[in-house]
Structure 1
Amino acid sequence: MSIVLDQLDEKLLEHFRGFVVKKDLVQMLKVGENVPVFVLEYLIANSCSTNDEEAIKKGLDNVKRILSDHYVNPEESALIHSKIKNEGRYKIIDKISVELDTGKDVYWAKLQNSNIKHANISESLVNQHEKMMLGGIWAIIEMRYDPGIMIGSTIYPFVVEEIKPIQLSNFENGHFVRNRSHFTTEEWIDILLRSSGIEPSAEGITRRIKLLLISRLIPLVEANFNFLEIGPRSTGKTYVFKELTPYAVVISGGQGTVAKLFVHGSTGKVGAVGQWDAITFDEATDKLFKERDAIPLMKDYMESGSFSRAGAGGEITGSASIVLNGNINQPIETVLQNSNLLSPLSPEINTDTAFLDRIHYYLPGWEMPKFAPKHFTKNFGFSTDFFSECLKSQRKINHTDVVEEFFALGSHLKQRDTKPVKKTVSGFIKLIHPDGKYTREEVQEYLTIALEMRRRVKEQLKRIGGMEFWDTNFSYIDKNTQEETFVSLPEERSSHLIENSPLQPGVCYTATSDGENLTLVRIETAVVTGSGKLNISGTNSTTPKEDIKNTYQYIKANEKTILNEQHSLKNYDISIQVTSLLGSTIASGIGAAAYVAIISAIYKRNLKPALSILGNISIGGAIERAMNFSDKVSMLSENGAKLVLVPMSNLNELQDLPPSVLGATDVPFYGNNQMLMQKVILGE
């Protein structure tokens, strides 16, 4: 076995020796042993946390021997009972939990695979390993047989003599936090991925994909986080919650009951929401709940982290995050064309806007790679027991105020939007910056993702519920510069050439025609401090260049009414790029769009979403009629335009537009340059 370590492996071994494991060793042993991953990783981390090839080989042999001698398979429980009796003392690997029997005033240990339910255990051992009282720990346990221990006439011969935990029995996250400083942000991101079993250098794992994969961990570090991922099969949607932590539970489709999830009617015992860090519904595209009345309880819980149930003794709280995972079988473009991105969910919730609006984060699973052998790392990462404790320890910390250090959220975000966005950023900070040290640029990156993931929910709600969810132009404002940035959705951009988000200053769309050929045109304008130069690029055609020059000269001649003294053209150099998005020949008719692009760029004002403008402005300021009016408006509408401003002189041609175009696109008219700007600036 040849051991090849990279620089990151060396750094991990230097700062986290004993807490890291070579992930491909786990896969090698997992094939031959029916043992929980975290048991394997604990043993490997203790035996093979080195870069010495011979030591790793000996370590693996040692792990195999330990498993062969001491790991208990459930079907061997009777044999184990016999071995403990015959030998007097015997070591086993099993999961041990403890309960206090107040009637007899004794602690009883329960050994899961060995099927021992009433083993004697001392109070000092219980105090040493308190997690045995909180669901149990995996451990190497020395058992003793003593037939002389009796309560009444019943013999309780099994005694827990000694415990060596396999899961960490005591955890202090200072080591995790302190040593973060030895790694760059990029290195730490790669460590998180390798700790999750993923190789960050694999083909197709871009920076964006890395962050999206890491975001699957947010429900484990952020309490009451409602997470949705819909995507193709084989993208690892549930792997995190099945294999990376003992603190999450996966519920199969249709198995969610009120008793299991919330509270048991007769015993009053709180269900999964009070016991786990994350509850994952594995097939959220199938039936979720066994009973209808689980849905209103889940809505209450997803909103506030609490619920009330008749007979349960008032309000009950929990901190479990809710994770919905489901498969999608069609191309994303088809789903968007025919319905919405929430339609694949179970019919019991996919039109319930109150339920869906409680989803904080919609991860686009269609962007995730289908996992192949190349995607699984062979390098070192944190061992699962250590990693899961690191994640759990972060749940106690709150970073929801980080966004406000640098940014304000735009006006379209309501309270139900700001909470998910802040919790998402908080989750990224906990995962990538557990030491609390981050930069403005890093927070901006996480905030952009957070806004996108929440906006994806809101956009689909708009399709389902209409005007109630109309405010979807999510943005953030830099507190230093007051510059507002709008966040769009990749799938919306891909389905339309004209984006359905507020246009950046200096960007505008139009359409031209040379008689038969229509062309969709994008105009981009950059304004820098200068001496009054105009530069036009992107086309060799004379007519559109003349349109732009005429518009520029009109602004220059009327600066006192159009601009103020501080924004005189003589103080700027203006570059205008003209791009054909559809069609080949850029013809005349782009003057009005160029006017809006120039003015918005100078004043740094965003333009309305999905905006296009037809018409020319002459050198004297006259608004010229748009030729081929109906064809141009139809073309713009088909490619995503929701608002097409047209010259007043085209008013009598409005009747020529097809009803389908008028139904999808607003077509207001303008008669002069002032009317034009009033109708296009965002917020006007």
Structure 2
Amino acid sequence: MAVLNDLDTKLLEHFRGYVVKKDLVLSVKVGANVPVFVLEYLIANSCSTDDDEKIRIGMENVKKVLSEHYVNPEESSLIHSKIREKGRYKIIDKISVELDSKKDIYWAKLQNSNIKNGNISDGLVKQHEKMLMGGIWAIIDVEYDPNIRIGQNIFPFVITQIKPIQLSSFDNSKILNKRKEFTKSEWLDVLLRSCGYEPNAEGVSDRIKMLLLSRLLPMVESNFNFIELGPRSTGKSFVFKELTPYAVLVSGGQGTVAKLFVHGSTGKVGAVGQWDAICFDEATDKIFKDRDAIPLMKDYMESGSFSRAGSGGEITGVASIILNGNINQPVETVLQTSHLFSPLSDEVNSDTAFLDRIHFYLPGWEMIKFSPKHFTSSFGFSTDYFSEVLKSLRRVTYTDALEKYYSLGAHLKQRDTKPVKKTVSGLIKLMHPDGEYTKEDIKEYLEIALEMRRRVKEQLKRIGGMEFWDTNFSYIDKESQEEFFVGLPEEKGSHLIESTPLPPGICYSSTSDGENVALVRIETVAVAGSGKLNITGVNNTAVKENIKNTYQYIKANEKTILSDKHSLKNYDITIQVTNLLGAAISSGIGSAVYIAIVSALYKKNLKAGLAVLGNISVGGAIERVINFADKVTMLSENGAKSVIVPMDNLNELSNVPPTVLGNTDVPFYQNSQMLMQKAILLD
């Protein structure tokens, strides 16, 4: 018996005939030009079983069918002869149909067999209308009748029967009805296996799974603008090349106005009107052949339509645009020297109007490099079925789904809101095609959407400056009114202090033991309780006393600092102190502790990259900072955007290096009230 896991068994139970064991495709060694969905169709019909012997017999049958009936283009004359000699012959080929209006008849064209004028009945054409829209792969019965003549010419080939290999008709009710039989994590694995990936291979984290899934977004969302830049061998264009007949790959430099948009003399609409997705492979080379393709592409990426002189008004399309390319340096190096769009070709890599239209920047540098273990040997949906599922999902939308639970923060402009909503909509379609999702699901997808759009905005800020300054993306829980900020892993990577607004209760500071300074993180959690204080992460008695004194100061001045409902007697406070860098922690962190406690009680975010220096005595006096310049410099070098310092240190500001002051604000305070005003992020 083949070793099947529970998910394989479940798929066979609910989708028998629509699933295929993915490793069988790789084992069929036939001509390289047999499309994957042709192989998978044959395998799904013969081997949709868990019985080893039946799979073996089925595979023999598949190989036999292919060797006898699949037409390689170089064998077309031999096939013509076989049809003539036998009178009737079955072939596997791509068939398309055109109406000859002068003669009022349909002609069939067989791609590999090189039959251009095959006779076909009106009934067969009506039955399989996709033959009129680019054609379908099918198992076709062809007869030979030398008596069919038009004028002096004989047209002997007659199509008598067609069994489509791509689904000729599709009903997505099965996927909607059966989704509930799978858990969320099972369904994610099913989708990834249907793409050929093995989700449980070593190195495939939950985040990698969601990044791999995100490659399908342009297939389920119309007019979705997507970019992935990263190292080679991560399978960037695989989805658009192998997985669906509805996407097209355009090689670098081949994007012409006629091919993409509209043909000048015939007026025929180009690729944007014919495909669901257009993938520019190797977008790090020149993308467009014609200069005037860029303004048309900008129009199209913005609104899904464009107008061109002589084309008779506005033309619309639904194709999503995908840019793929390689980043050859480590991402840290790229960020230090330029920006994450810099690998793109010169025509677009600093065109902020073009780049601002990108909805989703997938961090390709996080992707795994594919090796044999990353390709699944389990069951997944057969490619023809899966591609139809994806296409059918383009007809529904969930762009307003997030509004039931969340609103978007103040930094998101209209051009940011649309990409975020489209991304959430696409992830709902993929993960919950039946429309059954929870608030937690939306939160997960919303954070992905905000990150991927923020990556675009952060790079625009590097290129275009102040026009794009508002990159602190957040969302607000409508029920609790709590605001959550979403950062970028690569921005955080080089700094210990995150550059986004800090969550309530988290603050940074610096202490010194004479010459050496330490970088300190203070984390405060306030839960309903009876007024207990718990200090963790530090054994130094002086530091503990420092924290207790600050706590006592707040307690003694509650009437002026806190409202009745936020009184310390109603909360248990836990304060964790972490030494992130440098010397051992010393005392002198009172002001940072004060801000951490107050923001935790009020559930208020603190300003982006905030650090606080100084100490508050039990009587409320603000104490001067020692080693002032060293502490400000250390905090700035580790990502602090703002370091709030006591007024008594004002005359030492000239000791701080100008490069530090260029990167970090240094506001002053002279009492606890001023400190709160300068630290807490106002709504």
Q: Given the two structures, how large is their TM-score scaled by the length of structure 2?
A: 0.99
Aligned partners of 1:30 and 1:37 also within 8 Å: no
The within-5 A match list for 1:255-270 is 255-270=254-269
Q: Which moved more, 1:54-63 or 1:81-90?
A: 81-90
1:43 corresponds to which residue? Answer: 42
2:89 corresponds to which residue? Answer: 90
The C-alpha deviation readout for 1:18-76, integer Å capped at 9, x for no partner, is: 00000000000146654111000000000000011111011001001100111011111
Aligned AA (2:501): P
How many residue pairs get matched?
683
Q: Are residue 299 (structure 1) and residue 298 (structure 2) matched?
A: yes
Shift, 1:270, TM fit: 0.6
The within-5 A match list for 1:291-440 is 291-440=290-439
The C-alpha deviation readout for 1:434-458, integer Å capped at 9, x for no partner, is: 1111111111111111111111111
Q: 2: distance between equivalents of 1:463 and 1:30? A: 50
The within-5 A match list for 1:591-670 is 591-670=590-669
Q: Which moved more, 1:383-392 or 1:344-353?
A: 344-353
Aligned AA (2:373): K
Q: Alignment partner of 1:333: what SS?
A: helix
Q: Are residue 455 (structure 1) and residue 454 (structure 2) matched?
A: yes
Q: 2: distance between equivalents of 1:642 and 1:33? A: 56
Q: 1: distance between equivalents of 2:278 and 2:29? A: 25
Q: 2: distance between equivalents of 1:589 and 1:403? A: 44
Shift, 1:104, TM fit: 1.5
Q: Which residues of structure 2 form unaligned runs of 5+?
A: none
The C-alpha deviation readout for 1:65-119, integer Å capped at 9, x for no partner, is: 1001110111111211222222221111100111111121111111111111111
Shift, 1:147, TM fit: 2.2
Q: 2: distance between equivalents of 1:298 and 1:106? A: 39
The C-alpha deviation readout for 1:205-245, integer Å capped at 9, x for no partner, is: 11111111111001001100001111111111111011110
Tell me: CA distance 1:673–1:658, structure 2 relative to 1, closer, same or farther (3 Å).
same
1:101 corresponds to which residue? Answer: 100
Aligned AA (2:347): E
Shift, 1:155, TM fit: 2.3
Q: 2: distance between equivalents of 1:449 and 1:411? A: 18
The C-alpha deviation readout for 1:543-595, integer Å capped at 9, x for no partner, is: 22222122111111111111121111111111111101111410122111111
Q: 2: distance between equivalents of 1:242 and 1:378? A: 20
Shift, 1:125, TM fit: 0.2
Aligned partners of 2:208 and 2:366 also within 8 Å: yes
Q: 2: distance between equivalents of 1:305 and 1:211? A: 27
1:56 corresponds to which residue? Answer: 55
Aligned AA (2:517): L
Q: Alignment partner of 1:119: what SS?
A: strand
The within-5 A match list for 1:521-600 is 521-600=520-599
The C-alpha deviation readout for 1:345-394, integer Å capped at 9, x for no partner, is: 11111101100011101111111111111111001000000000010000
Q: 2: distance between equivalents of 1:560 and 1:389? A: 65
Q: 2: distance between equivalents of 1:567 and 1:642? A: 29
Q: 2: distance between equivalents of 1:197 and 1:406? A: 35
2:73 corresponds to which residue? Answer: 74
Aligned partners of 2:513 and 2:583 also within 8 Å: no
Aligned AA (2:14): H
Q: Are residue 160 (structure 1) and residue 159 (structure 2) matched?
A: yes
Aligned partners of 1:22 and 1:379 also within 8 Å: yes
Aligned AA (1:541): N
Aligned partners of 1:273 and 1:279 also within 8 Å: yes
Q: Alignment partner of 1:354: what SS?
A: helix
The C-alpha deviation readout for 1:493-521, integer Å capped at 9, x for no partner, is: 11110001110000000111111111000
1:503 corresponds to which residue? Answer: 502
Shift, 1:146, TM fit: 1.8
Aligned partners of 1:234 and 1:371 also within 8 Å: yes
Q: 1: distance between equivalents of 2:666 and 2:362? A: 35
Aligned AA (1:394): L
Q: 1: distance between equivalents of 2:626 and 2:116? A: 86
Q: 1: distance between equivalents of 2:424 and 2:520? A: 37
Q: 2: distance between equivalents of 1:535 and 1:71? A: 75
Q: Alignment partner of 1:109: what SS?
A: strand
Structure 1 segments, 4+ long, off by >3 Å, are 30-34
Q: 2: distance between equivalents of 1:344 and 1:167? A: 38
Shift, 1:630, TM fit: 0.7
Aligned AA (2:335): L
Aligned AA (1:9): D
Aligned partners of 1:98 and 1:133 also within 8 Å: yes
Aligned AA (2:242): E
Q: 2: distance between equivalents of 1:293 and 1:318? A: 18
Q: Alignment partner of 1:292: what SS?
A: coil
1:186 corresponds to which residue? Answer: 185
Q: Alignment partner of 2:606: what SS?
A: coil
Q: 1: distance between equivalents of 2:33 and 2:241? A: 15
Shift, 1:540, TM fit: 1.1
Q: Are residue 118 (structure 1) and residue 112 (structure 2) matched?
A: no
Q: 2: distance between equivalents of 1:537 and 1:638? A: 27
Aligned AA (1:289): F
1:147 corresponds to which residue? Answer: 146
Q: Are residue 129 (structure 1) and residue 128 (structure 2) matched?
A: yes
1:210 corresponds to which residue? Answer: 209
Tell me: CA distance 1:95–1:80, structure 2 relative to 1, closer, same or farther (3 Å).
same
Q: 2: distance between equivalents of 1:84 and 1:31? A: 23
Shift, 1:329, TM fit: 1.1
Q: Alignment partner of 1:163: what SS?
A: strand
Shift, 1:542, TM fit: 2.2
Tell me: CA distance 1:319–1:30, structure 2 relative to 1, closer, same or farther (3 Å).
farther
Shift, 1:602, TM fit: 0.5
The C-alpha deviation readout for 1:287-341, integer Å capped at 9, x for no partner, is: 1011111111111100000011111111000000001111111111111111111
Aligned partners of 1:253 and 1:282 also within 8 Å: yes
Aligned partners of 1:353 and 1:465 also within 8 Å: yes
Q: Are residue 488 (structure 1) and residue 487 (structure 2) matched?
A: yes
2:671 corresponds to which residue? Answer: 672
Q: Given the two structures, how large is their TM-score scaled by the length of structure 1?
A: 0.99
Aligned-residue RMSD, C-alpha: 1.1
Q: Are residue 512 (structure 1) and residue 511 (structure 2) matched?
A: yes
Q: Alignment partner of 1:646: what SS?
A: strand
Q: 1: distance between equivalents of 2:349 and 2:136? A: 39
Q: 2: distance between equivalents of 1:32 and 1:107? A: 31
